[in-house]
Structure 1
Amino acid sequence: MKNITTKMIKLLLENKQLGYLNIIYKRNKVDDTNISKCKYMIPLENLFDGILKPAFAIGNIDIDEIVSVCLFGSVLYRHIPIPFTTIEHVKLRDGSPKICSTREYLPRPWPKDIDVVIFTKFPVARKDGQSVSLGQKYNWHKSQGDYDSSSYRIDNDAFPIELHYRSIAEFYDGIAQGDAWCSYISQFGIPLIGQLEFYKLLSEVTGNIRKDMHQIKWTVNKTIWSATCKAKFCFNKLDKKNEEMGISKKAAKQIEAVAGEIKSRFDLIDIEK
C-alpha cells in the first residue's frame, strides 16, 4: 500500500504531474441500455483544486490542513445490496398446491454522484454535499466485445462529485454518537491520499470492523501519477483459508495437483486388486 501524503500531492500539483482518478463501476446484469460497466475519469488536478477552493468556505483551504481524502458511497458498489423483486407462484407438492416465492434480481442502479470526504485537522465552515462537476463518464456497452480502453465511449460529459468535510474531532464525535454517516465511512471508506493517517484514525475507533471490498491503486506512467479505484478480487473459502495459512494460489494449485496424482494412484491400486 502506497501512502500518498499531502506533501507529495502539493509537489505533484506544482509540477503538473497529476493524471486521472479512474473509478470502475460494474453492474450485476444489464437493462435495456445494454451497458454493463462504466469508468469515471476525474482529473486529479481539478479534483484537488475543487477540494482546496470550495465555494462555501471563506478563503481557501491549506493543503497542509488535510489529513486524508477518501471515497465512499454508492460508487463503491459492492457494499450496496442488489435490488430484487419477489415473485410468487404455485407449485404442487405431495399433490397439494403450495405458494412459493423466488427472487428476481434487478440491475444495480447507477450512482447519482461520487462522494468524497476530506478529513481535516480543524473544522471547516461548510455546507455538506457541495457539488462540483468534474471529469467524464465512459460507458462500456456489452455488445462491443472485450473490456479494453477502446470499448469505452462517452455518454455523459460531466459527473457531479459531492465534497464532504470532517475534522478528526467531528469524526470521532460522530462515531461516539452512533452517527450512521461516520460509521459507514469507518467501515467502507477507501483512502485516496493519507492512507496511513486514515487507518490510524480507524485504529482509534473501538469495535470498528473493516469490510474492504474495493481498493485504490496508484500508478506512475513516466512522470504522471494516476489512481484507479475498483473492486477487490474475491477469494473463495479455500483461497481465503490458504491465504491465512500463508500458502499462495500457485502453491495451492501445485499441492492440489500432487494430491490428485497420489489419489489416482491409490484408485488404480484398488482397481488392480
Structure 2
Amino acid sequence: MLRTLLFGPMNRPLQDLRGLRVWLIGASSGIGAELARQALAAGAHVALSARRRDALEEVAAHHPQAFVAPLDVLSRESWHEQHARIVQTLGGVDLLVFCVAKYRPERSWEVQEDEAEHTVRTNFASVYSALAATLPSMLERGSGGIALVASVAGYVGLPGATVYGPGKAALINLAEILYSDLRPQGLNVYLVNPGFVKTALTDKNDFNMPSIQTPQQAAQHIWRGIIAGRFEIHFPLRFTLWLKILRLLPFRWRCMLFQQLLQG
C-alpha cells in the first residue's frame, strides 16, 4: 500500500484510448495535430480545435469519429459555444488537452509589449476559459481529465524564452494546483513537459537543440504517459532529467553555465 502511494501512478490508468472523448485544443499543427491523429487511430472520439478550419479538416480527414470545432482561444464565448456543440455531438468530454503555443525567440531588450501580452494570453490566460467551459460537467459526474502541455522552458529561466518561458512556468504551477484540487474530486490531471520537438515553432531557433524529437515521438510519449496514469510526462529523459538537476543548482551557477553556452 505504501509503495503504491509513494511510487504508483498519481492518476487512474486507462486501458487504452478506444471510446475516449477527447477535446484537443491546438490540433491544427505540430504536437497537437499528431496527438489527434494517434488518438483517432487508436479509436478515440476527438474534437479538434484551433483557429484554422482548413488545417483541422485535413487532420480529421478519413476519420468519422473526428469532430471539427474551430476556436479562437481568446474568445470566452467561443469556448462555451464549442463545448456545447461537442457535448451535443459526442455526449461529453472525458479528456481536455490544452496544447496551445505561441512563440518567438527574443531577449529581454527585444520584447514588444503588445506581442508579449498576446503571447501570455494565448499560452496561459486562455486556459482559464478552457477550465470554465469544461470543469463544471466533469465535476458534476465526478470523472474526466485535464492535460496541460507546458514545456521544459518552464523549468528554468532560459535565455531567449523571455515571454514564452514564464507562461509555461505558470502552466506548470497551475497543473500542480489543479491536481491538488481535482484529484480528490475524481478527476485526472496531467502535466506535459516536452523537450525540443521539431515544429514550425522550434524552426525559429538558431541554436543547437539537443535530443530534438519529432511530433510523432512526442505524441507517443504523451499518450503512453496518460494511459499509464502519470502526473508529469516529460521527455526525452536523457535531456529533461539533466534540466531537472540543473534547476536544483544555485542560480549563480546556473547563470554562469548559461553564459558559457551563449558565448559558445
Q: What is the TM-score when the length of structure 2 is the normalising length?
A: 0.26
Of structures 1 and 2, the one with the larger relative CO (CA 8 A, separation 6+) is 1
Mark the structure with the bigger radius of gyration: 1
Q: What is the TM-score when the length of structure 1 is the normalising length?
A: 0.25
More strand by share: 1
More helix by share: 2
